[in-house]
Structures are given as structure tokens and as C-alpha cells.
Structure 1
Amino acid sequence: MPTLDEICTSILTQKTTSIVILTGAGISTSAGIPDFRTPVVGLYDKLTPLQLPYPEAIFHISYFRHTPEPFYAIARARHPRNLKPTLSHAFLALLAKKGVLRFVFTQNIDGLEIDAGVPGDKVLNCHGSWKTQRCFKCKTVYADDLMKDAIGRGCVPYCPVEGCGGVVKPDVVFFGESLPAAFGEMESEVVGEADLMIVMGTSLKVAPVSGVPRKVGMGVPRILVNNDVVGDFGARGDDDVCLIGGCDEGVREIVRKLGWGEELEEVWREAVERKERVLEEEGWDDDDGPGLDECIARAAEAMKLRMGVSDGHRRMLEGHLAEKMAGMMER
């Protein structure tokens, strides 16, 4: 069965022309977004000062609908508005440019694949996107400039529709919500067509997206680019190639074998320059904004002022969320 060298040769000789990719948080860490479960530096460990019933509660719809403050407290530091595509995002765009990318399933909500130049019809944000938002109650779309202002001030945005006043929620899929119907449709359509599966920067613990790599046909090679071996990688023997380490490092190894190093750097440079122009046009300026740790510290202090309420609310939710979040290991 194929080695990485043989897989790259197959791409170069156009024997491999339908690459399906699944990405997770690890593809964006070099852009400045921490992943979720890495000890100490991962987001869930950093949330400890907020004393949430569970770290995942900050992204659970049952918690958000009543207590959106923690989510919006960290939104400024985690909002992808001021982030730029990584080398790994540029790799996806380069595969598209070469005509060998069939589709990208991403668990991320940052939209950096599109920013890098991957065509929109070749990407599915399985967990939604930060690029739009609407009222959770009446579903009215909320203006981008109002959202920008709320995030900049670290405030919870509320629906301006008279008589509504519901909490505004970004169009991302929280725990407890269903994935978009397009996920099942695209999974059925494209996974069976894959002649190569690449999985990058994910623990493969969040169903149903975690099941995508298992659905490619037997004999179809799979490449894992990740800090750890995850899912059923290795179970298919020589069909699986595991590049253990950071995503950008793994991409550089693949691209070196493909001989596309200079092209990748050019695609990456152009992507970053495009994003910088957009940020300038939209007026985002975060140079002196608080970082994630500072946002969490501020939120923890604010929640101390309402400790009686938050403690009681937390105790009420513990049993409720324990059942709701069974099996939900990671965002």
C-alpha cells in the first residue's frame, strides 16, 4: 500500500484527483486561536476561573440561552475577525488551485479556509460560522457593525426588534443543536468519491463529523496530520499515513515531497495580504485589545459580583447538563 512518497507521486501524475479533507482546531492554532483540550494552554483549561458547571457549558445552547455573558466575555479574544490564514489553510487553497481538492469538511467556525482562497462551494462549516449572526429568539439577522461594537466592548448583544430583546447568537452550532442538513447531504455525495482522505488538527471525538474518515472506501489512502494518533487511524494498516506534529509542520513535509514549496508560500502571502486589506476596510483594530486570559479574568471578576445568582444557576444546571452533554467530549 502507498507510502507518503507514493501518495504524492499519485497526486503529481494526476492519478489522485479527488481529495477530501477534514479539519479541526489544530489547523488554526498558529493563527492565534488556542485549541480546546490541550492541557494548560487549551481553552477549556483556561476557562477554570469562570467556574462553569462544565468547560463545554460555555458552548452549550442550554447554558447560553440563560447565561450568555461568559461566551461574550471571551468573544473579543476568540473572534476570527482579525485572524489571518495559516500555512495549512493556504495548503487547502493550493490543492483547489491544482484541481485536486474535492471538498473540505471543517469543524472550525473561523472561516479561514475561505479567506485563504478555497472556493466556497468546496467548503462546509459543519459547526457553522462566525461570519453572520441573528437573534436566538426571533431569528432576525443582526447587523455586522452592531456585533462588532458589542464584541469590542465585551457586551452581550440583544435583538433591537421592538418587543423582542432576545440574545443575539452567532450562526455557529452549539452543543445541543443540530448540524446543518448540508452535512449529511455532502457527506453522502463526496466521501464515496474520495481517492485520498486527509485529516488535520482534530481529536475526532465530536460526532457525527468524527465519523467522516471511516466512511472512505477500503483501500483509499488516508493521511493524518495531528499531534496525536486519533480515531481509527492505524486500523487500516498501510492505508494510513500518520504525520505526528503540528499541522503546518506536516503540510511542509507533504509540500516538500510535492515540490510545491514556492507556490505554497505565494498562495499564503496573497491570502494574508487579502485579509489585511479586508481588516483595514472594515475598520477592525485589535492591536491594544485584551487577550484571552485578560478577557477571562475580567469575566470571572464580573461573575463574582453576581456570585449568589451564578452559583445557584450553576448548581441547577449541573444535573441538567450532565445528561445533555453525555458523549460530547470536545468542541
Structure 2
Amino acid sequence: MAANTVKSTEGIHCIANSNPCIKTLENDVLSVLKSSKRIIVLAGAGMSVSCGIPDFRSADGLYNTLDLEELGLNCPEDLFDMESFIENPSSFYKFAKRLYPGNVQPSLTHKFLALLQKKNKLLRVYTQNIDGLEVEAGVTSKKVVYAHGSLAVAQCLKCNLKFDAKHIATEVNEGKVPTCVSASRTVKKKGSLKRKGSQQKSNTMEDSNKRGEKNVSDLGTGTLSPKSKRLKRRAATRHNGTRDDLTSERSDDVEDEVGVDPKNYPNNNICGGLIKPGVTFFGEKLEDRVGKALEADREKVDALLVIGTSLSVSPMSKVLRYLPPSIPRILINRNEVVLPKMCADEIDSDDEEDTRDGYIFDASLLGNCDDVVKGIMCALAWKIEEGLESTTLAEPCGSDTGLTEVVGRNYFFPGALVVSLEEDEYEEEIVHCDGCRKKIATNVVMKCTQCFDFDLCYECFPKVSKKHYRGRHKFKSEKI
């Protein structure tokens, strides 16, 4: 789509807050919000821009404003790359300290999600954000699925201990790279757990050292041995928990409690491993909970809100084609969204055909997320203060919704951009095989047609597909 143009098949409906304009908004959007009881929200970075957190791809977004020299990065994408994090974790922590829990307050849009929950209209929030502001705003943690992980939790890459981010808050806010200070431990071997320094020290580790192999402590230096790579992969497995259910959680492979005082042990014997935030870095596979939650919610959802995201990162860009095409879809974003061709072409499910002709969303509310949400709430006469403390609107809106123009299915609010993303601006998809857990190097993958994100490489397909749901699920080849 060319710049400064708006795609429309129905022409201009109205301008400003005229009665026809409000009536159109009522028919296309407000009626859906009034009648729906099980809304799924796909949330993106645009929700948090008003909180002082930049989005990724806009002119003043993260990718265009990041000081690469200051952070020691070659390109913006390195900030969320696992290998780059291992080599230079200070880059990530210098940037991320402003996002950590307690340093940022929720926006009006975050509070709007909590209001949907209070009105018993919210089924689930699938957020691509890592700031945890949905829960801060009042959405219960059980209704939030972190597609890309959360800063609210962290994990030691050496001993695999998982814990609440508050344990590293001091170091992060001081710009330091946090390391694990719990009592030193080793990983289980064949059912036994041995502490370093004990008389039961494993001969396996000694033999490994004699052969010149590096042990897991190398994770703190950036040098990875085969063993430490295996541990790193296990440690990098995403966990979509929240502060409540992951506080002081520990891996099954370790003992002791989080926050153990190292002074209680001889020779100050502490772990010292590098701590990785609980976020999903580029190239990592989504945690199983994302797919399982979508598979369960698919049968319940009655409306979809896409807020503050261009849906340019897979596999979340495929959610639209996975959910039933019959449900209403509403977009709240600064600009229109164009799905990758593969997602747009295959948006029909096995059971239903998408009757939309030439469009994806039933209504696109274009503008700053907070301005759009404020307009919706004014039109619905909803008030944020209903049961939510200290979350009132900044000022009364009266009958002014902020809506300036309606063109086709596009509704324009303050901050709207009339330039759509081109298909080639979308992130290249990285797919991991759910059989061997390796990155699929070919451009074709065998995908389960009934699961949201279950993929197999050609090598694993013959055997694993027969075990997957006892062979009852169908697979199809798909280009990536």
C-alpha cells in the first residue's frame, strides 16, 4: 500500500463525532464489546508506548533509536539474541533495567484489559510484551500468557534455579549483571544429587576435566562446552509463569532454597552462574503453554482484539488463521496490519471458511492505543475506576470519543498512521522441530493442522507423527 493512502472499498462514512460516525462505531465495534463474553486479546508493544517503553519498528521505536555503540551491539536484533546475551549480558541489562517490575506503571490500555476482566468479558491475554504490565494493571495472572516470556522471573544458567525477579532487582537497577548467589550445587546424575566439595564428588566430572572438557561454570565466561550447551538449552526453555507461581521456584535438578546466605557455607561457596531473565530470545521456541492455551481457548473464544502489534513475528502472526474465522476481529493499532502472505492465504480453518473478502479485520481502530481505548470507553460510558483503584481517566471525555474520521472499515483517532507494513518487512520465521528440538534448516516443515505450533522436520516426521496424539492428528507440509 502506498504512503498517505487508505485502502477502502466503501468510501468515507463520516467525519468527526457526527451521529452517523458514532452509529457506525456502534454497529462495528461497540456491539461486539457489549455482547462478547470470551474475548481473546493479542497484545503488543504499542500498548506500552505511553508508559515510556518504545515499540520496535516505528520511526521513533527501539530499532531506530537504540544506541548500539553504548550497548556494544552490532545490530538492534542482537539485544534479544541468546548467543549475544551469553557473550555480553551487560548490553541487555543496561537496556532492560527501565522495564523491570516497579519501574514502569501500566497505561490506560492495560487498565482497559482489567476492566474487561471485571466485566466478565476476558477469556485470555496473549501478550508479546515482557514488561508484565497486564498483571500490574489488575489482570489476574491466570488469564495472561507471556508469548515471549516475562521479566518478572529469572533463571540461573548454571544451576537452573528459577526465582522471582525481585531477587536481582538491586543489581539490575544499578546496571550490574546479576549472578546466582545461592549455595553451589551440581546437577543430578542417575538419581543422585551431590554438592560440590563433598566427599561424594562425582568421578564423572573429574574424568571430564581430565579429558579437557569445560564444565557448566563456563556459562559465566561465554565459552560453551558440549555439556554446558545442553544445560543452556534446558535453561532457556521458556516458562510462562508469573510472580505468584514462580516465586522461589526451583528446578527438579537442584536443591536448596532461593536466597540462601552464602556466608553460611564454608569458603563462601556460592553458585556464581549467569542469570538469564525469563524472556524468550530470538530463535527460541515458544513454551508449550502458549500452544496448549490457544488450543483450549479456540473452542471458547467469541471475539478477538489485536492491540498494539503489527503481528510481524511468528508464530504469533499465525494466531488469526488458527482461531475460528467466524469470530469478530477488531484491530487497535497506529497503522493497518498486513499479514504475511502465508498467514493471509490460509486463514480458513478445517471446519469453517472465512467469508471476509479482501480484508482481515472487521474494524481497524487506528491511533494511539490509549486514545482509541479512551474513545471506546467514552462511547460505552465505561469507567476505569469501577473496582480498580487509582486508575481513573486523566480527564472526563463527555461525548467526545476522539474519533476523527471513518473510511471503509478504518476508524481514525489521534496518532493514526496511514501507512501499512509491506509483507517483506516481516521477521523471517525460525522454526524448531518438536521431535529433535533442533532448528529446521530446510524451507519446508511438517505442521500439525490441529495444534497451534507443533512442527516436525522430515527426519522426525515418520516416527514422531505416529506418537503425536497416537497418530490421530493430521500433518501437512508448509513452506517457511
Same fold (TM over 0.5): yes
Kindly report which structure 2 residues correspond to 1:154-169, keeping only aligned pairs within 5 A, or say none.
154-160=175-181, 161=184, 162=269, 164-169=271-276
Once the two structures are superposed, what CA deviation does each residue of 1:275-306 show, in whole Å capped at 9, x if it has no partner? xxxxxxxxxxxxxxxxxxxxxxxxxxxxxxxx
The offset of 1:55, in angstroms, is 0.9
The offset of 1:227, in angstroms, is 1.0
8 Å CA contact retained: 1:37, 1:45? no
8 Å CA contact retained: 1:142, 1:168? no
Which residue, out of 361, 376, 381, partners 1:259?
Answer: 381
Tell me the equivalent position of 1:225. Answer: 332
RMSD across aligned positions (CA): 2.6
Residues in 1 aligned to 2:81 and 2:66: alpha-carbon distance in whole angstroms:
17
Kindly report which structure 2 residues correspond to 1:206-221, keeping only aligned pairs within 5 A, or say none.
206-221=313-328
8 Å CA contact retained: 1:102, 1:122? yes
The offset of 1:219, in angstroms, is 3.0
1:134 to 2:134 alignment: no
Normalised by the length of structure 2, the TM-score is 0.52
1:250 to 2:372 alignment: yes
Which AA in structure 1 matches 2:134?
Answer: E
Identify which of structures 1 and 2 has the higher relative contact order when contacts are C-alpha pairs closer than 8 Å and 6+ apart.
1
1:194 to 2:301 alignment: yes
The offset of 1:202, in angstroms, is 0.8
**112 and 271 in structure 1: CA distance in 2 versus 1, 3 angstrom threshold:** farther
1:45 to 2:65 alignment: yes
Following TM superposition, where does structure 1 have runs of at least 4 consecutive aligned residues deviating by more than 4 angstroms?
142-146, 233-236, 265-269
**4 and 236 in structure 1: CA distance in 2 versus 1, 3 angstrom threshold:** farther
Aligned length: 271
Kindly report which structure 2 residues correspond to 1:19-34, keeping only aligned pairs within 5 A, or say none.
19-34=39-54
Tell me the equivalent position of 1:170. Answer: 277
Tell me the equivalent position of 2:31. Answer: 9
List gaps (5 residues or longer) in structure 2. Answer: 1-22, 185-268, 345-355, 393-426, 431-480
**103 and 114 in structure 1: CA distance in 2 versus 1, 3 angstrom threshold:** same
8 Å CA contact retained: 2:45, 2:128? yes
1:109 to 2:127 alignment: no
Once the two structures are superposed, what CA deviation does each residue of 1:210-265 show, in whole Å capped at 9, x if it has no partner? 211232322321111111111449866485200111111111222222221xx224
**236 and 223 in structure 1: CA distance in 2 versus 1, 3 angstrom threshold:** farther
Higher-Rg structure is 2
Residues in 2 aligned to 1:57 and 1:19: alpha-carbon distance in whole angstroms:
35
Q: Structure 1 residues 217-226 or 236-245, which shifts more? A: 236-245
Once the two structures are superposed, what CA deviation does each residue of 1:60-112 show, in whole Å capped at 9, x if it has no partner? 11111121111112232332422111110111011111111111100111111
Residues in 2 aligned to 1:89 and 1:143: alpha-carbon distance in whole angstroms:
22
Residues in 1 aligned to 2:364 and 2:109: alpha-carbon distance in whole angstroms:
16
The offset of 1:11, in angstroms, is 3.7
3-state SS in 2 of match to 1:22: strand
Residues in 1 aligned to 2:125 and 2:390: alpha-carbon distance in whole angstroms:
20
8 Å CA contact retained: 1:115, 1:271? no
Kindly report which structure 2 residues correspond to 1:242-321, keeping only aligned pairs within 5 A, or say none.
242-260=364-382, 263-266=383-386, 269-270=389-390
**213 and 270 in structure 1: CA distance in 2 versus 1, 3 angstrom threshold:** farther
Residues in 2 aligned to 1:79 and 1:138: alpha-carbon distance in whole angstroms:
23
Once the two structures are superposed, what CA deviation does each residue of 1:102-124 show, in whole Å capped at 9, x if it has no partner? 11100111111111111222111
More helix by share: 1
8 Å CA contact retained: 1:20, 1:101? yes
Q: Structure 1 residues 38-47 or 232-241, which shifts more? A: 232-241
1:59 to 2:179 alignment: no
3-state SS in 2 of match to 1:148: helix
**267 and 251 in structure 1: CA distance in 2 versus 1, 3 angstrom threshold:** farther
**124 and 144 in structure 1: CA distance in 2 versus 1, 3 angstrom threshold:** closer
Residues in 2 aligned to 1:248 and 1:37: alpha-carbon distance in whole angstroms:
19
**212 and 205 in structure 1: CA distance in 2 versus 1, 3 angstrom threshold:** same
**174 and 269 in structure 1: CA distance in 2 versus 1, 3 angstrom threshold:** same
